[in-house]
Amino acid sequence: MDITVYQCDQSGVYLGQTTAPESPLEPDVYLIPAGAVETAPPAVPPGQCAVWSSTTESWSLQPIPTPEAPVIPTPTFAQQVAALEVAVQAWLDTTAQGNGYADMASCITYINSGVAQWAADAKAAIAWRDAVWQACYSQFTAAQGAPLPAVPTSTALIAALPQPATFGWTVHAAGV
């Protein structure tokens, strides 16, 4: 015949019930697994657990330990601006790539090119780039010291910036 026993972990927290079989060599002696006790735990309300004390040989109810959520620090204004600058530069570079240049810096090197289209692209790119950065820094200055969340998302910032078509920038079908 088996008996019901109540399994605990090393710290005494109740894990569940199991059975302990009777010893085949000693009648009325049960082979109780390590960490198990014969006393049933009390009813456990939500958010708590039953804990066995081997010192007092009794159960107690305790709050379920939960890992603390990591505290994610709010980025500083400077960190937010730095991230936005990276996003804006990526937008400038991606637009230049769509026009067949490696990036914005590559495009503007054609400013004195003998190929009229390349020189025109460089001129338009420089004017657009300058307008974009002036608008960015104007927005950053306006947001500095304002209550959070005054710094826009990269998507909102880019949507509010001067667009390339305004400066005569066109995407070529083939590369340069």
pLDDT tens-digit series, residues 67-107: 777 777 877 888 888 888 999 999 999 999 988 899 999 99
pLDDT above 70 as % of the chain: 93
Would you give the end-to-end CA distance of the chain in angstroms?
88
- Cα 16 to Cα 3, 22, 23, 92: the distances in Å are 14, 20, 22, 61
Residue spans per domain, the chain: 2-63, 77-167
What's the pLDDT score for residue 149? 58
**pLDDT of residue 137 exceeding 70:** yes
Cβ neighbours around 169 below 10 Å, total: 19
Token code pair at residue 19: 């059975």
* Average of per-residue pLDDT across 111-116: 95
What's the pLDDT score for residue 126? 95
Cβ neighbours around 98 below 10 Å, total: 13
What's the pLDDT score for residue 174? 39
Q: Using CB atoms within 10 Å of the CB of residue 85, give its burial: 0 to 12 exposed, 13 to 18 middle, 19+ buried.
A: middle
pLDDT above 90 as % of the chain: 43
Q: In which band, very low, low, confident or very high, does the pLDDT at 176 lie, cut at 50, 70 and 90?
A: very low
What whole-number distance in Å separates Cα of residue 127 and Cα of residue 51? 71
Q: In which band, very low, low, confident or very high, does the pLDDT at 161 lie, cut at 50, 70 and 90?
A: very high
